[in-house]
């Protein structure tokens, strides 16, 4: 059965399986600049993956800024990433212009492996592929401890719940 969320009220289909707390975080290959990065390249500590359709939209911009601000108090105990299909150049421009200092970006534009493996790639229902809005927390052992797929792509995630899950995973 197809998994769906809505985008401006219209159902869109997601590729891949839904992740749940307790699942092993899936592998992926993304880009940071022109360098390939993978889950194995992230540090073995609590990690937050904030997934957005495009940093060039209001809700995605705000989501990245809220998490960037929310994680500052946790310092080096965590690693946090914004994942989108934006080109790495656009991600870097956004972070520079918006003063995003703590969140790192991962572009899934190369092969959509993050989107497919984490169940966030909008595969059908839009004229282009995008990632749906979602937030994941992964502990130091590589287990998902928190997963939120936002039912309506244009809505905000539950920032407080995600940050609480990240703090718990960092202990």
- pTM of the predicted model as reported, rounded to 2 decimal places: 0.97
Alpha helices (H) in 22-134, listed in sequence order: 58-71, 88-98, 113-117
What residue spans define the domains of the chain? 3-170
Residue 109, judged by CB atoms within 10 A of its CB (0-12, 13-18, 19+), counts as middle
**Which pLDDT belongs to residue 1?**
67
Q: Give 3-state DSSP helix, strand, coil % of the chain, rounded to 5.
A: 30, 30, 40
Residue 18 token pair: 């839904």
**Which pLDDT belongs to residue 161?**
98
Q: How far is CA 22 from CA 26, 120, 136, 141, 147, in A?
A: 12, 18, 12, 11, 10
**Which pLDDT belongs to residue 129?**
95
**Which pLDDT belongs to residue 91?**
97
Question: Top-level CATH class of 3-170?
Answer: alpha beta
Please confirm, yes or no, whether 95 is among the known catalytic residues. no
Task: Tell me how many degrees the CA angle 142-101-37 measures, rounded to the nearest 5.
Answer: 40
Answer for the pair 85, 112: CB distance below 8 angstroms, yes or no.
Answer: yes
Residue by residue, pLDDT tens for the chain (171 residues) are 689 999 999 999 999 999 999 999 999 999 999 999 999 999 999 999 999 999 999 999 999 999 999 999 999 999 999 999 999 999 999 999 999 999 999 999 999 999 999 999 999 999 999 999 999 999 999 999 999 999 999 999 999 999 999 999 998
Q: Determine which one of 39, 60, 121, 163 is catalytic.
A: 60
**Which pLDDT belongs to residue 2?**
80
């Amino acid at each position: 059965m197809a998994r769906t969320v809505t985008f401006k009220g219209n159902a869109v289909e997601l590729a891949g399986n839904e992740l749940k707390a307790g699942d092993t975080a899936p592998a992926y290959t993304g880009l940071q600049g022109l360098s390939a990065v993978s889950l194995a390249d992230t540090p073995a500590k609590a990690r937050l993956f904030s997934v957005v359709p495009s940093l060039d939209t209001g809700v995605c911009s705000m989501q990245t800024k809220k998490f960037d601000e929310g994680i500052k108090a946790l310092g080096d105990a965590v690693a946090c990433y914004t994942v989108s299909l934006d080109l790495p150049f656009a991600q870097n421009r956004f972070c520079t212009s918006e003063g995003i200092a703590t969140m790192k970006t991962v572009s899934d534009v190369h092969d959509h492996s993050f989107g497919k493996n984490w169940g966030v790639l909008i595969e059908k229902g839009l004229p282009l592929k995008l990632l749906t809005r979602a937030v994941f927390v992964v502990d130091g052992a590589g287990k998902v401890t928190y997963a939120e797929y936002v039912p309506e792509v244009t809505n905000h995630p539950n920032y407080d719940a995600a940050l609480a899950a990240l703090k718990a995973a960092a202990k």
